[in-house]
Amino acid sequence: MKNILLLSGNRIAPAKTGGQVRSLSIARALARLGYSVHIFSIAGRKEDYRGANLVRGMTLETEIEPRLKESVHLGLVTGITQSLVRRLDYPRVWQHFMLRRGLVPRQLKRALQEAHIVLSDLPFCPPVPGPWRDKPWYLISHNLEYKLLEQASPRQQRFAAWMREIEAAAPRTYTDIIACAEEDQAFFREHDTRSKLRIPLVRCGVDPLLYRFSPETRAQMRSQLGLTEADRALIFSGSGFAPNVEAFRDIKEFCRAEAEFLAGSRVFLLVVGSVCGEASRDGNLIVTGPVPEVLPYFAASDAGLNLVTRGSGSNVKLFEYLAARLPVISTTFGVRGTELTPFEDYLPCTRDDLKQVIQRFSGNTREFWRGRAEDVWNRHKRSCDIQELTNDAISVLPEFGR
């Protein structure tokens, strides 16, 4: 079987954001199909640069599962650059310029030499010049990055036009592109002037095996959160991505305005992830802050909530809710990129009618909603299982021939 190198700008395992969940899920799917998959991440996380790890040129090696490993470059220069850029609130443009000029560590050059196929995770990681440039080189698109930059902070908005040029040139830069949703697929096809690419679609699916939890896990997590079986928890998971932060702000406002209703209904809103920098608890609002692993919190929950109203691509959290067999409460924008039908597959809501939707949810038993969620999963699992989606995509890409 062929060796695949997935080139990432940041460490992706264990996954802590929706983008990392998708990248790691695709890598897992390829490994389980028999490929040898090596993730090489240009930079680590903040905690990776502490103590003994802060050694120039050090590479952190992790065996994730059979045929799947990740190497994280912890070079001092890249670590300092990443930290500075984040503090200044700039996008990862520095990684693009560094890679495009071939300014990469020798460990990455070795990995490129050994690879048969290279995957660039996001357009911030362009092809690296060198003898490996003639190898099949694919872009994994998670959304249209330029659209996200247009909706970001003023400093990041300055780079939106530049990123649009990078993404418009992608059909000429890569062997092919693996798209995330119809939106980016259509954009790349429009700019594929020679109509030479296939641009298969791999939606934000997940590995369903990771989202099956034992009753003991549920009981343990609910105990840690101070929840009884009489309480209902609606989870909102997310990173510090601006649309998530806005949705979290609306959740906080809702919990303040409807504190009496939530207490009387014994409904708790559980916000998990780096969308908030620290843990807190205010009435029926439970905020975990960044956590080592999000998965156990799905086990503790009774429904998945998504109040996101802008962004690009699709929300991985929706696919996680489905795989965890949680009934979904979402804005119509929040289910973009899925095949879910309002009322039949999820309870549609807005920021204005969330109370009424929660009342409807509370009007039926937990057993009713569990059965409903199982039916929804069975109807849509083919479009949510990353293994199936990845296999379908590479089946039309001859370079992946096994």
Q: Average pLDDT for residues 388-394, to the nearest whole number? A: 94
Q: Average pLDDT for residues 299-312, to the nearest whole number? A: 92
Confidence of residue 216 (pLDDT cuts 50, 70, 90): very high
Are 261 and 243 members of one domain? yes
DSSP 259-315: HHHHHHHTEEEEEESTTSSS-EEETTEEE--S-S-SHHHHHT-SEEEE-----SS--
Are 184 and 223 members of one domain? no
Residue 145: predicted pLDDT: 93
Tell me if 373 sits within 8 A of 211, measured CB to CB: no
Tell me if 345 sits within 8 A of 376, measured CB to CB: yes
Burial level of 261, CB count in 10 A (0-12/13-18/19+)? middle
Residue 114: predicted pLDDT: 97
Confidence of residue 237 (pLDDT cuts 50, 70, 90): very high
Are 146 and 256 members of one domain? no
- Say if residue 54's pLDDT is above 60: no
**Residue 45: which domain range?**
3-206+386-400
* Token couple for 164: 């649009």
- Say if residue 358's pLDDT is above 60: yes
Residue 197's CB is within 10 A of a number of other CB atoms, namely 20
Residue 314: predicted pLDDT: 75
Are 202 and 334 members of one domain? no
Q: Average pLDDT for residues 284-305, to the nearest whole number? A: 94
Residue 240: predicted pLDDT: 83
pLDDT tens profile 151-203: 888 999 999 999 999 999 999 999 999 999 889 999 999 999 989 999 999 98
Q: Please give the Cα distance from 322 to 205 (Å, whole number).
A: 10
The fraction of the chain above a pLDDT of 70, given in percent, is 98
Cis amide bond preceding 14, omega within 30: yes
Are 360 and 213 members of one domain? yes
Intra-chain end-to-end CA distance of the chain, in Å = 6
Residue 348: predicted pLDDT: 97
Q: Average pLDDT for residues 255-272, to the nearest whole number? A: 96
- Say if residue 402's pLDDT is above 70: no
Residue 51: predicted pLDDT: 62
Q: Which residue has the higher pLDDT, 336 or 390?
A: 390
The fraction of the chain above a pLDDT of 90, given in percent, is 76
DSSP 182-234: HHHHHHHHHT-TT------B--S-B-GGGG---HHHHHHHHHHHT--TTSEEE
Q: Order the strands of the 36-43 sheet from edge to edge.
A: 59-65, 68-73, 36-43, 3-10, 117-121, 137-140, 176-178
**What single letter denotes the amino acid at residue 402?**
R
pLDDT tens profile 61-99: 999 999 999 999 988 888 889 889 988 889 999 999 999
Q: Please give the Cα distance from 300 to 232 (Å, whole number).
A: 9
Angle, vertex CA 39, rays to CA 38 and CA 44, nearest 5: 145
131 DSSP assignment: G
Confidence of residue 316 (pLDDT cuts 50, 70, 90): confident
Residue 306: predicted pLDDT: 96
Confidence of residue 55 (pLDDT cuts 50, 70, 90): low
Are 82 and 61 members of one domain? yes
Are 227 and 179 members of one domain? no
Are 275 and 315 members of one domain? yes
Are 24 and 155 members of one domain? yes
Total structural domains within the chain:
2
Are 190 and 228 members of one domain? no
Q: Which residue has the higher pLDDT, 313 or 121?
A: 121
Q: Average pLDDT for residues 345-368, to the nearest whole number? A: 95
Q: Average pLDDT for residues 324-347, to the nearest whole number? A: 93
Residue 57: predicted pLDDT: 52
- Say if residue 56's pLDDT is above 90: no
Tell me if 331 sits within 8 A of 354, measured CB to CB: no
Are 214 and 201 members of one domain? no
Q: Residue with structure tokens 């039908």?
A: 341
Confidence of residue 205 (pLDDT cuts 50, 70, 90): confident
Are 183 and 255 members of one domain? no
CATH code of 65's domain = 3.40.50.2000
pLDDT tens profile 2-39: 999 999 999 999 888 888 989 999 999 999 999 999 99
Confidence of residue 52 (pLDDT cuts 50, 70, 90): low
Strands (E) across 19-125 are located at 36-43, 59-65, 68-73, 117-121
Q: Please give the Cα distance from 334 to 5 (Å, whole number).
A: 32
Residue of 26, 105, 109 lying closest to 68 (CA atoms) = 26
